[in-house]
Structure 1
Amino acid sequence: MTGTRRAAMFAMVLCALALSIAVPLRTYLSQRDELRDANAESDKLREQVAALEHRKSQLNDPAFVEIEARKRLHWVRPGETPYIVQLPGDENRNTESERPSGKPSANQSWYEELWQSVTHK
C-alpha cells in the first residue's frame, strides 16, 4: 500500500509541477509571438519612413518638381509648344478629357481646380 500511496503522491506532485509550468510557458510563447509581430511591423514602418524621406528629398529638388508638373499636369514653360504624341492603340483614348482646362471656373478657387485636374486622370 505504501507503494501506491507514493505513486499517487508522485503523480500529484508531477501534475502540480506541470500545471505551474504550463501557464507561464504559454504566456512566454504568446508574448514571443507578439514581439515577433511587433518587430515585423516596426521594420515595415521603418521602410515606409525611409521611402517617405526619399520622396521628401525628391520633392525638395526644383528640377524633380518641374518634371512632375510637366508629366502630371501637362505644364509647359512660356514660349514652348506642347505636343501630344499618339501611339498605336490610342485612337479610342480621349486626350481632351485628360488635359486640364485652360480657363478657371467662376465658382472654384485655383487650388480646387488644381486638385480636380490631378484627381481626374
Structure 2
Amino acid sequence: MARRPQLTGRAAVLAVVVCAIAMSLAYPVREYVAQRRDIAQLEQQQARELAAIKEQEDRSRRLMDPGYTRRLARERLFYCDPGKKCYVVMNERPAQGKGATAAKKIARPPWYQTLWESVEAADTGNGKKAAEAGG
C-alpha cells in the first residue's frame, strides 16, 4: 500500500491562500489602529484647546468689568482714584519674622572673594586658610 504524502496539493494551495489573506489584512488593521490612536490624541488636544479658550473668555469677561480693572490698576500700577490720597511705602520690610530671617542669614562674602582667597592661600601654601575659605 502506498503512503499518501503529508502535504497535498490542496493543502498547499489552501495554506498559500490563507497566508495571502492574512498578509493583505495586516496593513489595513495596523493603519486602523494607528488612526484610532491619532483620533484619541486629537480629541485630547481639542479638549485642552477648548479649556484654554474658555479660560481666555473668562479672563476677557473679567477685564471688561470696570471694578476688576480698577483693582488691577491699584495693585499693579499703584493707581489712585481722583480725590483720594494714596501713599507708596518704598523698601517696605515685613514686620513679622525680622529677627528670625536676620539670624538665618549668615554674612558670607561673595563667591569671587572666597575663590580669590583660596587661590591666594594655595599660592602661599597655607592649607588651613584655604580650607576655611572653601567652607
The verdict on a shared fold, with TM-score over 0.5 as the criterion, is: yes
Q: Secondary structure at the match of 1:75?
A: coil
The letter for the 2-side match of 1:86 is: R
In 1: Cα distance, 2:85 partner to 2:14 partner: 94
Match in the other structure for 2:86:
81
Q: Structure 1 residue 3: deviation in Å?
A: 4.3
Which of structures 1 and 2 has the larger relative contact order (alpha carbons within 8 angstroms, sep 6+)? 1
Considering only CA atoms, is the larger Rg found in Structure 1 or Structure 2? 2
Q: Deviations over 1:43-76 (max 9, x none)?
A: 0000001000100110000000011111111212
Aligned residue pairs total: 91
Residue equivalent to 2:68: 64
The gaps in structure 1 that reach 5 residues or longer are 92-121
Residue in structure 2 matched with residue 105 of structure 1 by the alignment? none
What amino acid does structure 1 have at the position aligned with 2:87?
P
CA RMSD of aligned residues (A): 2.3
Matched ranges for 1:32-71 at <5 A: 32-71=36-75
Give the Cα–Cα distance (whole angstroms) in 1 for the partners of residues 27 and 41 of structure 2: 21
The alignment status of 1:23 with 2:27, answered yes or no, reads yes
- Overall identity of the aligned pairs, in %: 29
TM-score (norm 1): 0.66
What is the CA distance between 1:6 and its match in structure 2?
Answer: 2.0
